[in-house]
Amino acid sequence: MHNEKNQLFYESSVRFDPKRIRAAAVYCSDGRFGAQFDDLLHNALQLPRYDRLAVPGGAACLARHFATYREDEGVFEQLRFLVNVHGLERVVLIAHENCAFYSERLRVSPLQLETQQREDIGKAVRRVRSLSRTLSVSAFFARKHREDTIRFESVDF
């Protein structure tokens, strides 16, 4: 809606497409990985316009850690909303190396970190599937390769 109070600041040149892709990704908020997550989703998985559920720790918040049960409840409800209202058919989970949510919030030691993340992905997948039996779920682990490259490994669960 335009009125005198609304001063145009910027018009995006990215065209708007109203069609939903019926896919969502759950990943960590860490903005250093944002562009690479988009690249994986858009180009490798061919999921443009996917719904984003970016929260600190990503799938950690679907793994029922007692220390973060409030986050857990919130993320699960948000995902339930997207499944029901946006008609999700596919969910992609992405964890990343050296996630600060694990070291700072869950107090996981650096040596245990990746093991814990992979275990959490397994738990998160079961939790996601409890929302709808027909959801297709996949998971990836983002790892730094050399100084400025991120590689994604697929995670089995």
Which residues sit at the interface with Zn ion, rule CB under 5 A? 28, 30, 99
Tell me the closest approach of the beta carbon of residue 99 to Zn ion, in angstroms. 3
Tell me the closest approach of the beta carbon of residue 152 to Zn ion, in angstroms. 15
Closest CA to 90 of 51, 119, 54, 142: 51
Rounded to 5 degrees, φ, ψ at 71 are -60, -45
Tell me the closest approach of the beta carbon of residue 141 to Zn ion, in angstroms. 12
User: From CA 124, how far away is CA 12, in angstroms rounded?
Assistant: 35
Closest CA to 139 of 21, 40, 20: 40
Tell me the closest approach of the beta carbon of residue 82 to Zn ion, in angstroms. 21
Nearer residue to Zn ion within complex by CB, 61 or 91: 61
Nearer residue to Zn ion within complex by CB, 23 or 99: 99
Task: Give residue 17's identity as a one-letter amino acid code.
Answer: D
Nearer residue to Zn ion within complex by CB, 135 or 150: 150
Tell me the closest approach of the beta carbon of residue 87 to Zn ion, in angstroms. 28
- Torsion angle of C-alpha atoms 129, 130, 132, 134, degrees rounded to 10: 40
Nearer residue to Zn ion within complex by CB, 33 or 50: 33
Nearer residue to Zn ion within complex by CB, 49 or 105: 105
52 membership: H or E segment, kind and range: strand 51-54
